[in-house]
Each structure stands twice: as structure tokens, then as C-alpha cells.
Structure 1
Amino acid sequence: MSRDTREWAWESSTSRGNARLVLLSIADRVPDEQCVAWASLTSLMRRTNASRNAVRSALAALAESGELEVLDDFDGPQHSTVYRLPRAAAWLAKVAAAREDDPDAYVEPLTGADPVPELDENRLRKHRIWPKTGSESDPPRQNLTGSDPAPPRQNPTPARVRSRPRPGSDSDPQNRSEPKVNRRYSSSGAADLVPAADWEIDDASRSWAQQEGHLARLGEQGLQAADAKWRSHRAAWSPRSTATWGADWRTWIAREHNPAPGRPNLYALPGGTPATKAGMTRAEAHTAALLAALDEPTGTE
């Protein structure tokens, strides 16, 4: 279910910069359609590679936009903050209702009149999210981000022995350990990483290309050529998740130029050699080569 929530964040969120990174980091931890997940401020700093103040500002911006809310009546492990993506929850509920009878039914865009489903506390408990007891021992949360996690609850598990989580589905991201910055998951998450050559264009990416007009702009052959060019440039990249490849692929396609006779793509693939047209002067050949070089991605897009 985190995949559907991430897809909503990619396609429908208005957030930008650090706020978008923070929203995607929380969406990646969502276990079901309630769109509720826990995260400490420290873990969000590690995942986004941002400072404490930057993460706090991002959380405040997301709360102001209505795309994120803090569930002050709940606690995650070690008193970590519990968040909810209310608009994502409303969207998933609307899609489920519309496609209950017809899986291919068109779903109207989300409006302010679409309700946010009520929370099911019993399901939250399965994901290690508990209602606060309301005792004086529970420190009050002073701001949106909350303070650093308080000392963990007393755990009867002996030292150096970690209790194994209950078996869950592959879509339950909170059954795995948190990743370090710029490293792969230390557990089963590594199995979800694939090289660019093995990534396949999914239905969502193809629908996006058609809806955004890129398929009509480039044509089927042009889209295939752009896809081959993308795979060639990404061949040296380390394996990534399918969601990451999909987002990178869409960015590439959106920036791909239309084939034009006056602007030949001389370097369609790395290592390609310019093909000088018959009758071209040396100055015209150099100009064409410079134009083609300007189209080449630098790897920092």
C-alpha cells in the first residue's frame, strides 16, 4: 500500500524541495490504506539528508497545506511521532469505491467534498501504533515535529536479542529496518532493487506519457528511442527501486527533444560518433556537434 501512497505523493502533491522529500519518506512507511505511519525526526533527517531545522520547516509546510497531519493521540515505537496523509487516504478510499464494481472505471479528481476515512485503532496496533495512555509520564508534544524519541518502553527481551516482527506482506515497509543514507536496505528491501536494464515500463508510466502528450509528441518510435537512450545512460548506475526508476524515466521523457531535421541527434547513445551530412561544411558540422552535445544529459538531472 505504500506504493499507492507514494504514487499519490509523486503525482498529486503540491509540495516542493525538502517538503516533498519528507512527504515521500513518510509515504514510503505507510502500511495500509489508512495512510498512517510513524517516524522520528532523526530518521527523517537521515532519509532526506537534511538538517533538523530543514525537516521541521518541511513538516510545518506540509501541515499548512493539509497534506500531512500529526496524530497527537497516538505513539509509535519509542514514542516516535505518528503522521497521516489525509488527502492520500481520501483519494485511495475514493478509488476503491469507484472501482468496486468496475476495475477500469475512471475516477474523478479529488475535491474538498471527498471525506477522509475514520481511523481503525485495531489496525493501527498491528503496525506498532498505540493510543496514548494519557498518564503524566507521557511527555506532551510541544510542536509539529515533536522532540527526539523518549527512552524506549521497558522491553523484556534480553540484550542483543531482537524480537522478529510478525510476518507481513511485501507491501508492509515497516517490517524492515530503516535504511542508512545512500545505502541499500539491510534486509529484504535489497531484493526490490533492480538495474535500469531490467526495469520495465509499467502501465502507470505509459498512461502518464499518453496523458501528458509525450507519446503524441515523440511518437511510438521516438518514445522507444528515448527509452533506449535512457537505459544506456543509466546502465552504470547502481540498482534502484522500481518507483525510483519510474520517476527518473518520466523526468527523462519529459525533457527529451523532438527529432528535428535541423537539429540532428548526433550522440543518441554514449560513445556514438557524429555522422556528418553530405554537403556540410566543417563549420556546419561543428555547430551540429555542439547542438547535439547540449542535448546530452550530464548525469546530474
Structure 2
Amino acid sequence: MSRDAREWVWEHSSSRGAARLIMLSLADRVADEQCVCWASLSSLVKRTGASKSTVQQALDRLHDSGELNELVDLTGPQRSTVYHLPLTAMAVAQAENEQETSSDEALAPEAEANPPLRISALQRYGIRRREVPESSTNDRSPAGPETGTSRRKPVHRRTGDRHRAVPVSGTQNRSEPKVNGKYSSAAAAVTMVGDWGVDAATRTWAIQQGHLDRLGEEGLAAAEAKWRAHRSEWKPRPAAFWAADWRSWIAREHAPHRPATHNGHGASPPVKAGMTRADAHTAALLAAIDAPAGSE
């Protein structure tokens, strides 16, 4: 399962630099299809070769992008931090569902957008619930025995002390909707694929990743139309699910002028049987390092 998680990071993650190394390190520790893993800050510093502050900033960026969640209610071996890769888990579940659908379309169940975590299955990897919560928050009930709800990462201590006039539980009124809280209607809102539109963040991602230059406006529109046609029969899903699924589809879409094979100088080596895309990328990088420079 860690191979599928690493391949998703190689192919579809929008992270860069130290954040990408962190995602690969965490994906390497994924144990099952839930894409839950554990790691300490010191181990991430050692694996990435970056400073502690750089790793912490990269973790913040990954959390803001939605590719990583910190499960503050859980703890790993030696009190390490437990992380969840929600987009990776969603892609893995979608791939398994499509595989089951192709074999038995009538009986295959449809993948759930945000399935609850099975805490009992994680205990075999040393992941368990915290005995004493690190902080208490107003209206924050503990997760049930099999829910494993991910929590938003608490504010770091370096941001400063709390105002003395503010109670520890917070001042937000219960009747006011909390952002990403259980009273937020936006967190549970679902829509059909035909009603979902590409937002500014998703289009910015396509530009930054080079997909707009690769496909062009017409190619991008054609790819989106094909994606909507394939998803027209799907049940209503959250907007975050459609955005992640749209990104995965566009990343796999071939440009209209892309040749079927590559020949000549500088072409990528052929993918051998049994190699995944991640293994092929690694082999291509090693071949580029060993290749002689033009001045030699």
C-alpha cells in the first residue's frame, strides 16, 4: 500500500522541495488503505536533510494545501505524531473501486468520499488514542471508537501566548458556525459534478504544474468535458472531492500532440515490465546523472 501512496505523491502531489520529501517519507510509512502513518519531527529532519524550521514550515504548507492532516487525538510509537494523507487515501479508494467495478459492475460498492478511520486496525502498527488530550477546545467531543476524525493542527507555541482575558475554551459562540467544525454547513455540502466549477485555486494549480501549457485551453476544456461525462452518473460529493478528482484526471490526460513513443537523443528510457511509474522516474533520474555532459 505504501507503493500506491508513493506513486500518488510522485504523480499528483502539488508539493515541492522539502514538502515533497516529507510527503514521500510519510507515504513510505503508510501501512494500509487508510493512508495513516506516524513520524516524529526529528525523523523528518533526518530524512529530508532540512532544518527543523524548514520542516515545520513545509508541514504547515502541506496542511494548508489539504494533502496532509495531523490527527491530534492519536499518537504513534514513542509518542510520535500521527498524520493522515486524505487525498492519497481518496485516490487509492477510487482506484480500488474502479477495479472492482470493472470486474463486477453490478455488485461493486461505490467508494465513500471521506470514510471514517478504523482505529482498531491502526493499533497493530502502534497507533492508539492519546490518554490525555494536549489541549481542550469548546464543543470538541472525542472521536468515537471507530471514527478517527482528523483535527486541524493546533496553533504553534511560537505564535505567542493567549490573551489573559480570553478563556482557554475560546470565545466563539456555540450558535456561530465554526470553520471546519461540526456546526459548519460548508463542511457537509455536496454537489453534483455538473454543478461543480473549477475554482481559482484549482486553476492556479493547473497553471503552476504546467498542465495548461501542456494541454492548452482547448485541450484542457476537452479533458474537463470528458471527465464530466465519465462522472455524470456519480452521486453528489463534496467540492473538495471533485477538485482532487479533477486534478488527478488532468494530470493523467495526454496532450493532443503528444507522440505515442519517444525516440532519439534525450528520450526517456522505456518502462520495464513490473516497474511502477515511481520506479521509472527514479531510473530516469539516475540515467540523467550518469549521462556524460556535452563538454566531456
TM-score normalised to structure 1 length: 0.49
Query: Which protein is bigger by CA-based radius of gyration?
Result: 1
TM-score normalised to structure 2 length: 0.50
